[in-house]
Amino acid sequence: MIRASVVGASGYGGAELIRLLRAHPEVEPVGFFSRTFEGRPLAEAWPQLSEGAFHGLERAIEEADVVFLATPNGVAMELAPRILEAGKRVIDLSADFRLPKEVFEAWYRMPHRAEALLSQARYGLVELHRPELPGARLVANPGCYVTAATLALSPLAAEGLIETLLVNAASGVSGAGRGAEGTAFAEVNEDYRPYKPAGVHRHTPEIEQNLGRVAAQGRWVETHGPARPLRLTFVPHLVPMTRGILVTAYVRLREALEESAIFERYRQFFAGEPFVRVTEALPRTKGVFAANTTWISLRKDARTGWVVVFAAIDNLVKGAAGQAVQNMNIIFGLEETLGLSAEGLWP
Ligand SMILES: NC(=O)c1ccc[n+]([C@@H]2O[C@H](COP(=O)([O-])OP(=O)(O)OC[C@H]3O[C@@H](n4cnc5c(N)ncnc54)[C@H](OP(=O)(O)O)[C@@H]3O)[C@@H](O)[C@H]2O)c1
**Is residue 27 domain-shared with residue 114, that is, in the same domain?**
yes
**Is residue 157 domain-shared with residue 290, that is, in the same domain?**
yes
Question: Which of 44, 71, 83, 292 should be mutated for ligand 1, with most atoms under 8 A from CB?
Answer: 71
Given a contact cutoff of 8 angstroms between Cβ atoms, the answer to whether 273 and 335 are in contact is no
Residue 18 lies in a domain: yes
Nearest-angstrom CA–CA distance, 122 and 160: 24
Ligand 1 atom at minimal distance to the Cα of residue 174: 1
Question: Which of 93, 123, 317 should be mutated for ligand 1, with most atoms under 8 A from CB?
Answer: 93
CA–centroid distance, 93 to ligand 1, in Å, is 8
What confidence score (pLDDT) does residue 21 get? 98
Q: Print pLDDT tens along the chain (347 aa).
A: 999 999 999 999 999 999 999 999 999 999 999 999 999 999 999 999 999 999 999 988 999 999 999 999 999 999 999 999 999 999 999 999 999 999 999 999 999 999 999 999 999 999 999 999 999 999 999 999 999 999 999 999 999 999 999 999 999 999 999 988 888 999 999 999 999 999 999 999 999 999 999 999 999 999 999 999 999 999 999 999 999 999 999 999 999 999 999 999 999 999 999 999 999 999 999 999 999 999 999 999 999 999 999 999 999 999 999 999 999 999 999 999 999 999 999 98
Q: Name which of 73, 61, 68 is nearest 97 in CA terms.
A: 73
Backbone Cα Rg of the chain:
19
**Is residue 116 domain-shared with residue 148, that is, in the same domain?**
no
**Is residue 83 domain-shared with residue 155, that is, in the same domain?**
no
Find the CATH number of the domain harbouring 200.
Answer: 3.30.360.10
Question: Which of 7, 18, 35 should be mutated for ligand 1, with most atoms under 8 A from CB?
Answer: 35
What confidence score (pLDDT) does residue 226 get? 97
CA–centroid distance, 71 to ligand 1, in Å, is 4
What confidence score (pLDDT) does residue 181 get? 86
CA–centroid distance, 11 to ligand 1, in Å, is 5
What confidence score (pLDDT) does residue 180 get? 86
**Is residue 275 domain-shared with residue 174, that is, in the same domain?**
yes
**Is residue 68 domain-shared with residue 166, that is, in the same domain?**
no
**Residues in CB range of 71: below 8 A, 6 or more apart:** 7, 8, 11, 79, 93, 94
Ligand 1 contacts CB of residue 305 (under 6 A): no
For the chain, the domain total comes to: 2
**Is residue 113 domain-shared with residue 156, that is, in the same domain?**
no
CA–centroid distance, 8 to ligand 1, in Å, is 5
> CA dist 285 to 243, 261, 274, 316, Å?
8, 26, 18, 12
CA–centroid distance, 250 to ligand 1, in Å, is 31
Ligand 1 contacts CB of residue 94 (under 6 A): yes
**Is residue 113 domain-shared with residue 163, that is, in the same domain?**
no
**Is residue 230 domain-shared with residue 91, that is, in the same domain?**
no
Ligand 1 contacts CB of residue 56 (under 6 A): no
Q: What would the DSSP string read from start to end of 264-286?
A: HHHHHHTTT-TTEEE-SSPP-GG
Find the CATH number of the domain harbouring 26.
Answer: 3.40.50.720
Domain holding 290, by residue range, is 144-315
Residue 63 lies in a domain: yes
> What residues act catalytically?
144
